[in-house]
Structure 1
């Protein structure tokens, strides 16, 4: 996916920071070398003077001095290398050292993006996703079916906890595989601690690694940000304006723990607006809630529940709280 203007600017700021860091590191190495090998400073001053003299000679038709600048600079360079090696320094100690030598920390080789651009692009996408640091551990490969009881039957679906988990995993993988080819929204619902948030993280990480933008928010954080956006003064809306735009434009929005926040008219209205607008824009959304469909309608509104029932794939999950199971097993 193409980066937004703000995301592209963020990537280029990282390159600018790299270049500044490169220059500072070179200046520090130069100070160190000059301190221990004063002759180096003389050679560098001589090289700079020769370059200036050559420039003046080219600009002044009356200047008939004849000297080979290339040869003179080569001799200076050779002496510099000998001095550095003699004093135990690498012969390139006073050369600019780049994080990425291929593009010289510009992000581009000619007009083509360097391979390192992709790495910084992902760094920006991860930073803007608002995902917790534990995301890297929450992957499909680490999603274990061992915590789901094959004999525990869910009254919601008539399937066992294990069967529901297997279905949830298949659905999540399919969502990632077909993302941006098929428009789909997911709603993970069910008991506390059964893997709903974990699967949301798995999806987010997989899509971020493919270069899609993801915004992850707990419901409480989202509504707090929306309150600030709606009711803040005009001088305090720059960052909030960007958040509000990204709420609708991100390739994927994940709203976690819906139903745990204090619900009122504002919350119900904003949730409907968010869900409805993203449906109209065909930008996918994932919801996670401990509420049943009936409880969801009672907590928020019938029209919100109706939009979800008509436009979301409902994925029920049940079982014993995995966090408690892990503690009882000694954290294994």
Structure 2
């Protein structure tokens, strides 16, 4: 997944902060040792002057200069360690401290992203998704068919199949999903399963409740003071690999809001960026509530999955009360 500029800059600022903290710690420790360990500063100054003098000899043609330099530096290093130990410090007390010794907090090793950089990407994606805690419980390991029967079970199994194919072909095929049906039948759960799987593989996922999305879009239309923040928000919203819009139909709608909503769906379609929408509305309610353009966009360019059955959340509560 290609990070947006804002995402990359966020991660790199974190690395810069780590490097700054490491440098400050080393400066503090060095000042402490200079003040408390007699002779240590002089050895450090000897290293610098010796390197300069032997470098000059080498440039003047003394082929043994580098060999002599290495030997002298090794001796000085041993003396410094001895002074540190004598003063009660560990040998590596003045060695830079890194969060990741492999890349030395640069994020890169030999020009390639370090494992810590890849983890930072995943952590950032989780944070930006808005559903980190939700995804701890909503994943394939907690999937259960026990709450479904008959046609309800068949519909849910078909939806699970569509979701797994959505994940499997995500990088090769552009597609969208539309979940609709009765309350508490697994629509948000399956959206969460997909989100977790894609985030773990390094894709950007952003989750919005429909109410939160419409409120944010409406607010940004009239906010002229925070242009940079709005540009960054739109970059993420229109460009993230997957946008999840949950509970469509619970938001306050207006003609302007519906128009902006269509623009969002249309632009993501043009960008070949996938979207998942879930709603408790029927298809008839969807047509009546939103414009024909929105209805046409969803019914023609989304794989539609219908959910039916008992409200699982309510069923679980009843089962717990019986215990």
Q: TM-score, normalised by structure 2?
A: 0.87
Q: Which residue of 2 aligns with 1:209?
A: 200
User: Which residue of 263, 273, 296 corresponds with 1:273?
Assistant: 263
Q: Which residue of 2 aligns with 1:142?
A: 142
Q: Distance in 2 between matches of 1:141 and 1:125?
A: 21
**Do the aligned residues in 1 keep the contact of 2:218 with 2:257 (CA within 8 Å)?**
no
Q: Distance in 2 between matches of 1:200 and 1:34?
A: 59
Matching of residue 173 in structure 1 with residue 172 in structure 2: no
Q: Deviations over 1:20-58 (max 9, x none)?
A: 122233334445555664454454354455556767x67
Aligned residues: 317
- The answer to which of 312-321 and 70-79 deviates more is 70-79
User: Which residue of 167, 189, 192 corresponds with 2:180?
Assistant: 189
- SS of the residue corresponding to residue 180 of structure 2 reads strand
Q: Distance in 2 between matches of 1:47 and 1:133?
A: 53
Q: Distance in 2 between matches of 1:119 and 1:294?
A: 44
**Do the aligned residues in 2 keep the contact of 1:228 with 1:240 (CA within 8 Å)?**
no
Q: Deviations over 1:2-25 (max 9, x none)?
A: 222222222222221221122233
Deviation, structure 1 residue 74? 2.3
Q: Which residue of 2 aligns with 1:107?
A: 107
1:232-271 to 2 correspondence within 5 Å?
A: 232-233=223-224, 235-271=225-261
Deviation, structure 1 residue 295? 0.9
Q: Which residue of 1 aligns with 2:278?
A: 288
Q: Distance in 1 between matches of 2:132 and 2:117?
A: 23
- SS of the residue corresponding to residue 7 of structure 2 reads helix
Deviation, structure 1 residue 238? 0.9
Q: Which residue of 1 aligns with 2:11?
A: 11
Q: Distance in 2 between matches of 1:210 and 1:36?
A: 50
- SS of the residue corresponding to residue 217 of structure 2 reads helix
- SS of the residue corresponding to residue 277 of structure 2 reads strand
**Do the aligned residues in 2 keep the contact of 1:229 with 1:241 (CA within 8 Å)?**
no
Q: Distance in 1 between matches of 2:129 and 2:22?
A: 28
Q: Which residue of 2 aligns with 1:306?
A: 296
**Do the aligned residues in 2 keep the contact of 1:229 with 1:244 (CA within 8 Å)?**
no
Q: Distance in 1 between matches of 2:318 and 2:114?
A: 49
- SS of the residue corresponding to residue 183 of structure 2 reads coil
1:78-157 to 2 correspondence within 5 Å?
A: 78-146=78-146, 148-151=147-150
Q: Distance in 2 between matches of 1:231 and 1:313?
A: 34
Q: Deviations over 1:73-112 (max 9, x none)?
A: 3222112222334455432121112222222211222323
User: Which residue of 300, 318, 321 corresponds with 1:328?
Assistant: 318
- SS of the residue corresponding to residue 179 of structure 2 reads strand
Cα gap change, 1:51 to 1:203, in 2 (>3 Å): same
Cα gap change, 1:204 to 1:38, in 2 (>3 Å): farther
CA RMSD of aligned residues (A): 2.8
Q: Distance in 2 between matches of 1:257 and 1:132?
A: 18
Unaligned runs of 5+ in 1: 152-158
Unaligned runs of 5+ in 2: none
**Do the aligned residues in 1 keep the contact of 2:126 with 2:132 (CA within 8 Å)?**
no
Q: Which residue of 1 aligns with 2:213?
A: 222
**Do the aligned residues in 1 keep the contact of 2:249 with 2:279 (CA within 8 Å)?**
yes
Q: Distance in 1 between matches of 2:313 and 2:46?
A: 69
**Do the aligned residues in 2 keep the contact of 1:14 with 1:120 (CA within 8 Å)?**
no
Q: Which residue of 2 aligns with 1:27?
A: 27
